[in-house]
A and B are shown apart, each in its own frame.
Chain A
Amino acid sequence: MRQQCRPVVHELAFDGVTLARPHADITAALRSGDVRAVIICPSNPFISVEPILAIPGMRDAIKASGAPVVAVSPIIGGQAVKGPTAKMMRELGLEASAAGVAARYGDLLDGYIVDHADADGIGNISARVTIAKTLMTSLQDRETLARVTLDAADALASSR
């Protein structure tokens, strides 16, 4: 943080993660059968999302919830909207693309929302893809993307 992510990333490790446990409210919510969707927001997959997914039992609890899991790509046109996601991907030897992030989440994803700028790469994504404007510059953009994402989750839930 202090060095603003200038050093090259070689590897990511979450100290103590094997001792961590998901919060009871989260596991209870995922078990309730009332979850409409699990949405992975367009955050940095390595330092924002994976620390959550790395908690033992978390991925299994999400999968067992039966709710569709939909991620919004944090990459638009090969670039991160903000933060070091694309830089980290390149340094880790990964493809800095929307498809690369989807591959990172693997079989956790049922649905994936990508921007028009990344529509060319969707052939390599195993989740069901939605292509919409994902760059949010106004409140209207945020609302629209939220609706697109929830609609996609509902469509995926109904086709199981």
Chain B
Amino acid sequence: MSDIWAIIPVKEFSGAKHRLSGLLSPPERRLLADTMLMDMLDAVAGSRLLAGVIIVTLDPDATALGKKIGARIVTEGARDGHTGSVNAGRRLLAGEGRLGMITMPGDIPATRAGEIDAVLSAHLAAPSFTISPAHDDLGSNAVVCSPPESVPLRFGDNSYFPHLDAARLQGIEPTVIRQPGIAMDIDHPVDLAFFLRLPQSVGTRTRTLLEELGVPAMLAERGIT
């Protein structure tokens, strides 16, 4: 066991995924966010190398889902945005003397347990930093830090290359590991088309939901492939 903990920040599901509002109604988007988190938590729970899971959230559904897999629910920092939530989790782990953390968002539902373990296997001994970028090389979809606060983080739409620079500023050579499922975050309608084409999406709850909601046909109608 590596004593690396996962930190997953989940903002309140109401109002989630507004970039998909042209395609899905608010209740559908909420259901999608909920379902994507379930897939994420399945992956995290299946990892052989994680020591534990922290979910930073105030959302009652996310709290209930987290408790099912034995995650620790942290509310401190949950209103401070994605970066603030991750930092609250990191502070907690650092205070407890944990050796490291991996943070991932709740909206990369093609992530598999084996992908998380592949990222953790490539992670070097502390002080170290490993990143698994989004498919567009803009987002930072999985970030591993040992110790938990080894590198200052700032998430956003364009954080991948700044995070590489931030690691180097700390004198740490980053490791970059690409994983198809981790890379596939879902923000825009076109991401749903990418996701549905991805072999790693087969068998996920998210894929089943998208099919039930008729999303493949909706995307085809709009010419999004």
Binding site for B on A (CB under 8 A): 111, 116-117, 119-120, 122, 128-133, 144, 147-148, 151-152, 154-159
Determine the distance from Cα of A152 to Cα of B176 in the docked complex, in whole angstroms.
10
A128 to B: closest C-beta gap in Å: 6
User: With contacts A119-B174, A130-B176 known, what are 7 further pairs, Cβ within 8 A?
Assistant: A128-B137, A131-B175, A148-B122, A155-B178, A158-B180, A158-B194, A158-B198
Interface residues of B (CB under 8 A from A): 115, 118, 121-122, 124, 135-137, 164, 168, 173-180, 183-184, 194, 197-200
**In the complex with contacts A144-B122, A158-B197, A159-B135, A120-B180 CB distance below 8 A:** no
| Contact partners of A159 in chain B: CB under 8 A | 135-136, 183-184, 194
CB pair B180–A132 under 8 Å, yes or no, is no
A-B contact pairs, 27 of them (CB 8 A): A116-B173, A117-B173, A119-B168, A122-B164, A128-B178, A130-B177, A130-B178, A131-B173, A131-B174, A132-B122, A147-B118, A148-B122, A148-B177, A151-B115, A151-B177, A151-B180, A155-B135, A155-B180, A158-B135, A158-B184, A158-B197, A158-B198, A158-B199, A159-B136, A159-B183, A159-B184, A159-B194
CB distance from B165 to the nearest CB of A (A): 10
Q: How many whole Å from A116's CB to the nearest CB in chain B?
A: 4
Tell me the bound Cα distance from A111 to B178 in angstroms: 10
A154 & B173 in contact (Cβ 8 Å cutoff): no
- Is there an interface contact between A158 and B173, defined as CB atoms closer than 8 Å? no
Shortest B172–chain A CB gap in Å is 10
Please report the C-alpha to C-alpha distance between residue A37 and residue B176 in the assembled complex, in whole angstroms: 19
Q: Which residue of A lies closest to B122 (CB)?
A: A132
Q: What is the minimal beta-carbon distance from A95 to any residue of chain B, in angstroms?
A: 20
Q: Is A155 a contact partner of B179 (Cβ separation < 8 A)?
A: yes
**Alpha-carbon distance between A159 and B195 when the two chains are bound, in angstroms:** 9
A107 CB → nearest B CB, Å = 17
Q: How far, in whole Å, are A148 and B121 apart by their CA atoms in the complex?
A: 10
Is the CB–CB distance between A157 and B178 below 8 Å? Answer: no
Chain A residues lying within 8 Å of B136, measured Cβ to Cβ, are 159
Q: How far is the CB of B122 from chain A (nearest CB, A)?
A: 6
In the complex, A133→B124 CA distance in Å?
9
**Given known A-B contacts A147-B118, A157-B180, A158-B135, A132 and B175 have beta carbons under 8 A apart:** yes
Complex CA–CA separation, A120 to B200 (angstroms): 32
Bound-state CA distance A57–B115 (Å) is: 36
Chain B residues with CB under 8 A of A120: 168
In the complex, chain B residues whose CB is within 8 Å of the CB of A130: 176-178
Q: In angstroms, how far is the closest chain B Cβ from the Cβ of A105?
A: 18
Q: How far apart are the CA atoms of A131 and B128 in the complex, in Å? A: 13
**Quick check: B179 and A132 within 8 Å, CB to CB?**
no
Contact B198 A129 (CB under 8 A): no
